[in-house]
Amino acid sequence: MTEPSTTDAPSATAPSVSSTATQTEVAVLAGGCFWGVEEILRAVPGVLDTDVGYTGGWLKNPGYHDTHDSKSGHAESVRITFDPSVLSYETLLDDWFFKLHDPTTLNRQGNDVGTQYRSAIFPQSPEQEATAKRVIERVNASGRWKRPITTSIEPAATWYSAEKEHQDYLQRNPGGYTCHWMRS
């Protein structure tokens, strides 16, 4: 097993400029099993990179098995690097995140049960936090879901990349397990 990399949220979230002058922003989202979330989001126009991992818990350097049965407090999450000139954070949440999983089931997605499968947003800036609150209010009011949204907004925390075998999992294992779908 390779040692997971860690990045403190503040340094990982600052927008950066590449040599081609593309602005980037980072979003950290948890919506159940990270394989399915990553697979859907990687194809969204404006998404530049995805990384699956763990955040929001108390255990340092967790591994995949450490996150199960709520043993670490971490959520299986996806860190998304995107170009905000192509995809806004608000659109990422409203048109993608709140349609690719069921945000009304507390600590559960499909057959996956436990706090590691919670629906959570880890804002990387005060602006992202304000946007997340606004989108949750709008989605709740829209009637898109029959039950209230249970998605939590949690403080940005240390990011731990998942082990190599979990990165790009559904790309390497087409037809592998996922509990995700896109809802209109």
**Residue with more model confidence, 176 or 23:** 23
Angle (CA) 144-148-149 rounded to 5° is: 80
| Ramachandran class of 107: left when φ > 0, alpha when ψ lies in -120 to 50, beta otherwise | left
Question: Is pLDDT of 157 > 90?
Answer: yes
> What integer best gives the mean pLDDT of the chain?
84
Q: Which of 3-17, 111-125, 127-141, 152-166 has the lowest mean pLDDT?
A: 3-17
Helix then strand count (H, E) for the chain reads: 7, 9
Q: Give 51's pLDDT tier (boundaries 50, 70, 90).
A: very high
**Per-residue pLDDT at 95:** 95
**What is the average pLDDT across 149-158?**
97
**Residue 33 among the catalytic residues:** yes
Nearest CA-CA partner of 76 in 169, 174, 175, 172: 169
Q: Give 5's pLDDT tier (boundaries 50, 70, 90).
A: very low
Q: Other CB atoms closer than 10 Å to residue 19's CB: what's the count?
A: 5
Q: Which of 48-57, 63-72, 105-114 has the lowest mean pLDDT?
A: 63-72
CATH superfamily of 23-168: Peptide methionine sulphoxide reductase MsrA (3.30.1060.10)
**Token code pair at residue 100:** 């690719």
Alpha helices in 34-175 (DSSP H): 34-41, 64-67, 89-91, 98-100, 126-142, 169-172
**Per-residue pLDDT at 10:** 36
Nearest CA-CA partner of 82 in 33, 44, 29: 44
Question: Is pLDDT of 21 > 90?
Answer: no
Instruction: Tell me the domain boundaries of the chain.
Output: 23-168
**Per-residue pLDDT at 140:** 94
**Per-residue pLDDT at 162:** 82
**Per-residue pLDDT at 178:** 62
Catalytic choice (30, 33, 87, 132): 33
CA 101, distance to chain mean position in Å, is 11
**Residue with more model confidence, 106 or 20:** 106
Cα–Cα distance measured from residue 165 to residue 105, given in angstroms and rounded to the nearest whole number: 28
**What is the average pLDDT across 9-13?**
38
